[in-house]
Amino acid sequence: MAKLMEVLEFLDNSGNIMVKRVPHDGPTEIKYGAQLTVRESQEAVFFRDGKSLDVFTAGRHVLKTQNIPKITKWVTSFGYGEDSPFRSEVYFVGKQLFSNLKWGTSEPILFRDEELKMIRIRSFGSYSVQVSDSLLFVNKVVGTRGVYSNKDITDYLRNIIVSKLTTVLGSELTTVFDMPASFDDLSIITKSKLQAEFSGLGLSLHDFYLNSISVPDDVQEMIDQRSGMAAIGNMDEFMKYKVAMSLQDAAQNEGGVTGAMVGAGAGLGMGFAVPGMVQQSMSGAIGMSNAESAMDKLKKLKELLDMEAITNEEFQTKKKELMNKM
């Protein structure tokens, strides 16, 4: 005959164990009158045949009829006496706050983008959770699903998080181009939807963070280009300015204006040139060049006047001609 368990307890030195099954390998015979020790921030749940029975809070308990009514009822239903040994297992549930738990998409999820059609995205973040109802938690998550370790539990919760996030992205985000400005809102909405889901599992969701949503490199490049264009502001005016500056610089170089036109298009790397815009830019650049040339001539005329090489009347006549050309 198997030895009856007389002492039931679990000491979590790490403070990180969400639930611990005693004995580790499943139900065993427990002696009537056995000692049960439940530590601070713990609750103990007796579990048998897929169902939670009696729950004990922190303290030292002697298992007798008065404090194990459900177990006693179950034992006596088989015709055994109230003080008979009973077969069960105990789950010690950690009631402390479990913070900074990680979640993430193990595989990319499909997202229907309004502009890019179907793309694959990944997402990562963290959350904090606490067991609010040990009986419900054991019934819904631990005992029923055979989920015992922290990894098993966090994997199970991660799947719920990713499922809810996928739904939120589909309903709240139309394109990844809007994603950077939507992080906070997406986190808040996802947390709201998860709270009801977690509550039904006997859990309280304290914090939820959406730290990252990543897209393939080619999609990220598109997002960066869109952000850069937004930062520039008026793209038409910017392009005119860039072409004008290129033409002005090239006018002083060997390539001349023709080289400037090629350099402006290639340097911008935009793959397009609007004829009207280029014409306006050329006119502006030539006008700037003419103005600078006239100013140089005017300075030289002033030097000749100061040297008395020309008369004041001659200076005023030439000055008027140059000013008309500017």
- Report residue 190's pLDDT band, with 50, 70 and 90 as the boundaries: very high
Confidence (pLDDT) at 318: 76
Of 55, 86, 49, 60, the closest CA to residue 8 belongs to 60
The answer to whether the peptide bond before residue 23 is cis (omega within 30 degrees of 0) is yes
Question: Could you tell me the CATH number of the domain that includes residue 176?
Answer: 3.30.479.30
The whole-number average pLDDT for the span 40-58 is 88
Are residues 249 and 204 both part of a single domain?
no
Confidence (pLDDT) at 281: 46
Residue that finishes a domain, picked among 221, 245, 266 = 221
Q: And the tokens for 177?
A: 């181009």
Residue 322, exposed/middle/buried by CB under 10 A (0-12, 13-18, 19+)?
middle
Percent over 90 (pLDDT), the chain: 30
Q: How far is CA 85 from CA 27, 124, 272, in A?
A: 12, 49, 86
Are residues 184 and 238 both part of a single domain?
no
Q: How many CB atoms lie within 10 A of CB 189?
A: 19
Model pLDDT for residues 195-252, shown as the tens digit of each residue:
999 999 999 999 999 988 888 777 777 766 666 555 555 556 555 555 566 666 666 6
Residue 226 forms part of a structural domain = no
Are residues 211 and 109 both part of a single domain?
yes
Residue 228 forms part of a structural domain = no
Residue that finishes a domain, picked among 94, 111, 144 = 94
CA 264/CA 249 separation, integer angstroms: 10
Residue 227 forms part of a structural domain = no
Are residues 87 and 161 both part of a single domain?
no
Is the pLDDT higher at 269 or at 253?
A: 253
Confidence (pLDDT) at 81: 58
Contacts of 229 (CB under 8 A, 6+ apart): 235
Decide if 153 contacts 147 (C-beta within 8 A): yes
Number of domains observed in the structure of the chain: 3
Helices (H) and strands (E) in the chain, counts: 10, 11
Are residues 107 and 141 both part of a single domain?
yes
Are residues 188 and 116 both part of a single domain?
yes
Q: And the tokens for 249?
A: 């610089």
CA 229/CA 1 separation, integer angstroms: 79
CA 112/CA 92 separation, integer angstroms: 44
Q: How many CB atoms lie within 10 A of CB 204?
A: 15
The whole-number average pLDDT for the span 56-81 is 74
Are residues 14 and 107 both part of a single domain?
no
- Report residue 63's pLDDT band, with 50, 70 and 90 as the boundaries: confident
Q: And the tokens for 315?
A: 């200076």
Are residues 132 and 26 both part of a single domain?
no
Which range marks the domain in which residue 26 is found?
5-94
Q: And the tokens for 56?
A: 């004990």
Model pLDDT for residues 15-35, shown as the tens digit of each residue:
889 999 888 877 788 888 889
Are residues 47 and 122 both part of a single domain?
no
SS3 category, 105: coil
Of 71, 86, 88, 93, the closest CA to residue 10 belongs to 93
Are residues 67 and 137 both part of a single domain?
no
Residue 229 forms part of a structural domain = no
- Report residue 74's pLDDT band, with 50, 70 and 90 as the boundaries: low
Residue 304 forms part of a structural domain = yes
* Statement: the pTM of the whole predicted model exceeds 0.75: no
Are residues 102 and 83 both part of a single domain?
no
Q: Is the pLDDT of residue 146 over 60?
A: yes
Residue that finishes a domain, picked among 68, 94, 120 = 94
Per residue, the 3-state secondary structure of the chain, as one string, reads CCCCEEEEECCCCCCCCCEEEECCCCCEEEEEEEEEEECCCEEEEEEECCEEEEEECCEEEECCCCCCHHHHHHHHCCCCCCCCCEEEEEEEEECCCEEEEEEECCCCEEEEECCCEEEEEEEEEEEEEEECCHHHHHHHHHHHHCCCCHHHHHHHHHHHHHHHHHHHHHHHCCCHHHHHHHHHHHHHHHHHHHHHHHHCCCEEEEEEEEEEEECCHHHHHHHHHHHHHHHHCCHHHHHHHHHHHHHHHHHCCCCHHHHHHHHHHHHHCCCCCCHHHHHHHHHHHHHHHHHHHHHHHHHHHHHHHHCCCCCHHHHHHHHHHHHHHC
Model pLDDT for residues 96-112, shown as the tens digit of each residue:
999 999 999 988 888 88
Mean pLDDT over the full length of the chain: 77
Are residues 172 and 263 both part of a single domain?
no
Residue 187 forms part of a structural domain = yes
Residue 146 forms part of a structural domain = yes
- Report residue 177's pLDDT band, with 50, 70 and 90 as the boundaries: confident
